[in-house]
Amino acid sequence: GAGVSQSPRYKVAKRGQDVALRCDPISGHVSLFWYQQALGQGPEFLTYFQNEAQLDKSGLPSDRFFAERPEGSVSTLKIQRTQQEDSAVYLCASSFLHSANYGYTFGSGTRLTVV
Amino acid sequence: ILNVEQSPQSLHVQEGDSTNFTCSFPSSNFYALHWYRWETAKSPEALFVMTLNGDEKKKGRISATLNTKEGYSYLYIKGSQPEDSATYLCANYNTDKLIFGTGTRLQVFP
Burial of A54 (0-12, 13-18, 19+ CB in 10 A): middle
B54 has pLDDT over 70: yes
Count of A-B CB contacts under 8 Å = 59
Q: A85 and chain B: CB distance < 8 Å anywhere? A: no
pLDDT of residue A68: 97
Residue range B54-58: average pLDDT?
96
- In which band, very low, low, confident or very high, does the pLDDT at B1 lie, cut at 50, 70 and 90? very low
Inspect the interface and report whether the beta carbons of A108 and B49 lie closer than 8 Å: no
pLDDT of residue A45: 96
A1 has pLDDT over 60: no
Q: Of A43, A55, A102, which has the smallest distance from its Cβ to B100's Cβ?
A: A43
- In which band, very low, low, confident or very high, does the pLDDT at A108 lie, cut at 50, 70 and 90? very high
Return the residue of A nearest to B50 by Cα: A101
Q: What is the DSSP letter of A3?
A: S
Q: What does residue A85 show for φ and ψ, rounded to 5 degrees?
A: -70, -5
Q: A41 and chain B: CB distance < 8 Å anywhere? A: yes
Residue range B87-94: average pLDDT?
94
Inspect the interface and report whether the beta carbons of A104 and B34 lie closer than 8 Å: yes
B2 has pLDDT over 80: no
Residue range A84-93: average pLDDT?
97
